[in-house]
Structure 1
Amino acid sequence: MNELAITVIGHDRPGIVADVAEVLGGLGANLTDSTMTRLRGHFAWTLVCNGPEADAVSQALEPLTADGRLLATVRAVTPEEDEADAGEPHLVSVHGADRLGIVAAVTREVAAAGGNITDLTTRLAGLLYVLVAEVSLPAGAAAGLSERLAAAAKELDVEITLRRAESDLL
């Protein structure tokens, strides 16, 4: 079996998840990890599965993409080693008026602290911009990151919080 990374994006409609899952199931592909969302009327799904060759999966998905409303990409990936993440789980949240550079500034500070972003969601609701990120930080990095995020919050005129998360909740 091959490990495959698949993305499906396009105009949202009912049944996309079912259609793709049926194609994959029909090929004997086992869906292991995925995340799906709707973004302003657009569908976006990224998934990893174990299955046949990438070309076979691409060909099987072609009927779903033929009308041009969906785009599916399939590529073989190397399975990750089952290494325990040595980082400490934290949540970063941002609330404030929408403005350019929020994501770049916050994620740059996390990276500078040696942190890895494991999940990130943003939403614009009217004038309010919200960012929530799950991050894995090296031991002892949270205090310094908290100070740098406070400085970034002041510069961006937003509220940024960093708090330790329970790993079993992530």
Structure 2
Amino acid sequence: MNELAITVIGQDRPGIVADVAEVLARVGANLTDSTMTRLRGHFAMTLVCTGPTAAEAEAALAPLAEDGPLLTTVRVVGGESASTATGEPYLMAVHGADRLGIVAAVTRVLAEAGGNVTDLTTRLTGPLYVLVAEVDLPPGTADDLSRRLTEVATGLGVVVTLRRADSDLL
């Protein structure tokens, strides 16, 4: 079965999610994973679906992009590897005055510890910069990583917290 990664970006307006979902449903696309957000007046959607070929999905989405309000991309992707290493789930939050390099610095520390960012959101509200990330960490690395993150955060003039994530409740 085909597995596709699709992105949709454009000026935010009501109905983008409905328009995209309806078009994809008509060509038999089953949406399996997605993330959608509004970024300073722009809407961004990334989703993974199964079903149609890339050509079928591109043709179905083309009318949404032909007048220029939306940009869509379709790419064939492979299934998630069963051997994908998973770590222990943690939540990291960073907040403080906005400055260049916050995301680069804290994610570098995570990467050097073998951590994997699985979700990351940032917001700038006036002078306050907030970053919230879900990360998978190798077992037994959280205490040392927390210490290293605090060192880097102090140098940036921000505050960082790292805590074990609670299991998702369904």
TM-score range, shorter chain: over 0.9
Q: Quote how far apart the aligned CAs of 1:143 are.
A: 1.1
- The residue number in structure 1 matching 2:94 is 94
Q: Under a length normalisation based on structure 1, what TM-score does the superposition of the two structures give?
A: 0.96
Count of aligned positions: 170
Q: 3-state SS of the aligned residue for 1:167?
A: coil
- Structure 1 CA distance for aligned equivalents of residues 102 and 136 of structure 2: 19
Q: Under a length normalisation based on structure 2, what TM-score does the superposition of the two structures give?
A: 0.96
Unpaired runs of 5+ residues, structure 2, are none
- Structure 2 CA distance for aligned equivalents of residues 125 and 97 of structure 1: 10
After superposition, where does 1:8-87 map in structure 2 within 5 Å? Answer: 8-82=8-82, 85-87=85-87
Amino acid aligned to 1:142: A
Amino acid aligned to 2:92: V
- Structure 1 CA distance for aligned equivalents of residues 168 and 145 of structure 2: 23
Task: Say yes or no: does 1:152 pair with 2:152.
Answer: yes
- Structure 2 CA distance for aligned equivalents of residues 153 and 43 of structure 1: 30
- The residue number in structure 1 matching 2:168 is 168
- Structure 2 CA distance for aligned equivalents of residues 128 and 156 of structure 1: 13
Q: 3-state SS of the aligned residue for 1:168?
A: coil
Q: 3-state SS of the aligned residue for 1:75?
A: strand
- Structure 1 CA distance for aligned equivalents of residues 142 and 108 of structure 2: 14
Q: Quote how far apart the aligned CAs of 1:121 are.
A: 0.3
Greater mean alpha carbon deviation, residues 122-131 or residues 83-92: 83-92
- Percent of aligned pairs sharing the same letter: 71
- Structure 2 CA distance for aligned equivalents of residues 2 and 84 of structure 1: 20
- The residue number in structure 1 matching 2:142 is 142
Amino acid aligned to 1:150: T
Amino acid aligned to 1:7: T
- The residue number in structure 2 matching 1:116 is 116
Q: 3-state SS of the aligned residue for 1:93?
A: strand
**C-alpha distance 83-166 of structure 1, shift in aligned 2 (>3 A):** farther
Q: 3-state SS of the aligned residue for 1:86?
A: coil
Amino acid aligned to 1:139: P
Task: Say yes or no: does 1:130 pair with 2:140.
Answer: no
Amino acid aligned to 1:86: T
Amino acid aligned to 1:128: L
- Structure 2 CA distance for aligned equivalents of residues 26 and 150 of structure 1: 50
Amino acid aligned to 2:6: I
Q: 3-state SS of the aligned residue for 1:6?
A: strand
Deviations 1:12-60 (A, max 9, x none): 1111100000010000110000000000000000000002110111011
- Structure 2 CA distance for aligned equivalents of residues 18 and 131 of structure 1: 29
